[in-house]
Structure 1
Amino acid sequence: MKYGRVMELQEDFYIPIPLDTDNITSLSPFLVPQDHLASSGIFYMMAVFMFFIFIVGTLINALTVACTIQNKKLRSHLNYILVNLAVSNLLVAGVGSFTACCSFSNKYFILGPLACRIEGFIATLGGMVSLWSLCVIAFERWLVICKPLGTFIFKPDHAIACCVSTWVLALLASAPPLFGWSRYIPEGLQCSCGPDWYTTDNKYNNESYVMYLFVGHFAIPLVLIIFCYAQLLITLKMAAKAQAESASTQKAEREVTRMVVLMVVGFLVCWLPYASFAIWVVNNRGQPFDLRFASIPSVFSKASTVYNPFIYVLLNKQFRACMMKMMGMGGADDEESSTSSVTEVSKVGPA
């Protein structure tokens, strides 16, 4: 189907206008399948992928929370933050991925405009909590390992305060579209919802909101994460150089270096596509773009509910041992050895 270069603005959606269509309402993503945007195969492929993210993301994050509740030794200040990350991932997987799966299966957002706003808000809230939790983890590692404040001890109360702050910051990012600063509409293939990156309507002030998100909730966390992990790696290099003959120190350095690389790459994979797409749209108003590619940033951000736990939880030996024991796949010996290894490595790294 051929399209004009114009995209039509409606109260609840924003889609391309086929040249042979006069009534844009007849193509509403809340009323009819969006077959004009992509083939059925693409919609069903996305539905399968979202179903996978929903099942695996819900399972692994729920298991993280359950393990922490069941095992007192997992209730450390760092693990509080990991649980906070898991809860935010559960929101995204349980609401965002599940809703997207149902919508992709039907090839349009079947739940209506109100549900779109709710899904967009919850998915954005969970995503922002996840983003700021990653920032808090980097900050905590910097405080504990690099000791910039000398004898300051990062305690559980501090971790709880940091977790609360992630939700406050996330609300500051996700709530404005509910009150008229931007809005939540179907995005990409119109089967999931997010902030309106597309329009310049003065009624919603979308451009200022996009810049606010980019600077306040992407650039600043990214700078903090890079700074903290750069300082961490410098400290590790110095420790390894001072203890060149210590096999345990060298091993710890390698493990933490690997973890740091995965953390930064995971952050960028999750948020760089979204931030880049939003900024491109804002700076290239009127330029046509394929809505199939516009779905990619949303998919990457929702997939973080799976790969974030793999990086932060399953590579944490203590969590991994407890999960295996909980599922009847590990014993006390494995758990004890993992705990001793964690204690040794924690002197210089997050594992």
Structure 2
Amino acid sequence: MTSPFTNLTSTSTLCTDRMCIFYAVMNTLIFIFGCAGNGLVIWIAGFRMKKSVITTWYLSLAVSDFIFCCTLPFGVVQKVKDDWIFGSFMCKFRYFIKFLNMYSSIFVLVIISVDRCVLVMFPVWAQNKRTIRKASVILLLIWIISAVLSTPAVIFRKLKYEKTTRCSNNITDTESHIATAACRFVFGFVIPLFVIISSYVIIIWKLKSNQMTKTKKPFKIMTALIATFLICWLPFHTFAFLDIKYKNLEWVKIGKGIGISVANANSCLNPFLYAFMGKDFAKHCYKLLSKIENAIEEETPNKEQDSPVVTGESKLLSL
């Protein structure tokens, strides 16, 4: 009886080159830590903590990252075997989830930035109008828009039968390739970055003008999350454009592979940022669960405070 691994071990395309090993090892680690970390965030934010607007945002981020991490083993198997063995549906589904994760993650970060901006500018209105139900509706719209923007992955991703089966883009003309890359870059990077920076400029200006700087924990967490997202996805977008004209160059192929792996890494980093940005992590690093909870918890307003404006802005800083 032939072993199912016979073809893998006998083929000349066995994963032995450095890029293949790098991709396989890195994405395996992302899968392990991403599923574990995001699973913990889903459990804590979804079941242990009191429901709030901010935990709703972070729960959506964790769900998106968890789903994506679950699809990574398919890519690892394809890279190691140099053969796609999972059929046409999974070929399309895997890349659809990849871009669904990209769009939904950055859109949620945009909403969190705008949400904090509104809390600073209109604290009393925000306390009365900012509800979990409205946050859930906004998240539903975000996921729908993200799904629509991810449809090119379904349309253009197809199986190619050569010496082996490949799950690859089937874009034949340069115009469509440019349009697809430009759409992802504009809607998944440029516009969100502009909105986030604008929101943070307003927040910094408002807080400095009112000297409301009791704690910087939430600001540090969001800054870290956004910076991590941008750093992880910028190489991907850069080499996506270079791949249009220079796809046969070896350094572009290497850069594209690294860019994809670094972009995938974003999905496993958020839970660790929640923990490391919490209070006194160096002193209490073994309390991982409580640190994740502390980092994303939304505290209730202090009823003893006299000024409603101060209460609103203090609530922002305690998020």
Q: Normalised by the size of structure 2, how large is the TM-score?
A: 0.74
**Deviation at 1:61?**
0.7
SS of the counterpart of 2:249? Answer: coil
Equivalent residues of 1:100, 1:192 under 8 A apart: no
**Deviation at 1:315?**
3.3
Equivalent residue number for residue 233 of structure 1: 204
Equivalent residue number for residue 95 of structure 2: 120
Equivalent residues of 1:273, 1:297 under 8 A apart: yes
Percent pairwise identity: 22
**Paired amino acid for 2:54:** L
SS of the counterpart of 2:317? Answer: coil
Which of 148, 159, 173 is equivalent to 1:201?
173
Equivalent residues of 1:33, 1:106 under 8 A apart: no
Equivalent residues of 1:259, 1:311 under 8 A apart: yes
- C-alpha separation in 1, matches of 2:57 and 2:91: 29
User: Which digits, 9 at most, give the CA deviation of each residue in 1:186-230, with x for residues without a partner?
Assistant: 9xxx99967x4x95527x822222222222232111111111122
Gaps of 5+ in 2: 1-10, 280-284, 303-310
**Paired amino acid for 1:347:** K
Which of 143, 146, 151 is equivalent to 1:167?
143
Which of 5, 15, 29 is equivalent to 1:52?
29
Which of 228, 231, 235 is equivalent to 1:269?
231
**Closer, same or farther: CA 60–233 of 1 in aligned 2, 3 Å:** same
Higher RCO (Cα < 8 Å, 6 or more apart) = 2
Equivalent residue number for residue 83 of structure 1: 59
Residues 1:347 and 2:308 are matched in the alignment: no
1:329-344 to 2 correspondences below 5 Å = none
- C-alpha separation in 2, matches of 1:340 and 1:122: 33
User: Which digits, 9 at most, give the CA deviation of each residue in 1:106-153, with x for residues without a partner?
Assistant: 344443554322211122222221221111211211122232895563
**Deviation at 1:302?**
1.0
Q: Which of the pair is proportionally richer in helix?
A: 2
Which of 229, 249, 258 is equivalent to 1:288?
249
**Closer, same or farther: CA 111–350 of 1 in aligned 2, 3 Å:** farther
How many residue pairs get aligned? The number is: 287
**Deviation at 1:72?**
4.3
**Deviation at 1:314?**
5.8
Shifted more, 83-92 versus 128-137: the winner is: 128-137
Equivalent residues of 1:67, 1:326 under 8 A apart: no
**Paired amino acid for 2:92:** R
**What is the alpha-carbon root mean square deviation over aligned residues?**
3.8
- C-alpha separation in 2, matches of 1:285 and 1:339: 48
**Deviation at 1:103?**
2.9
- C-alpha separation in 1, matches of 2:188 and 2:27: 25
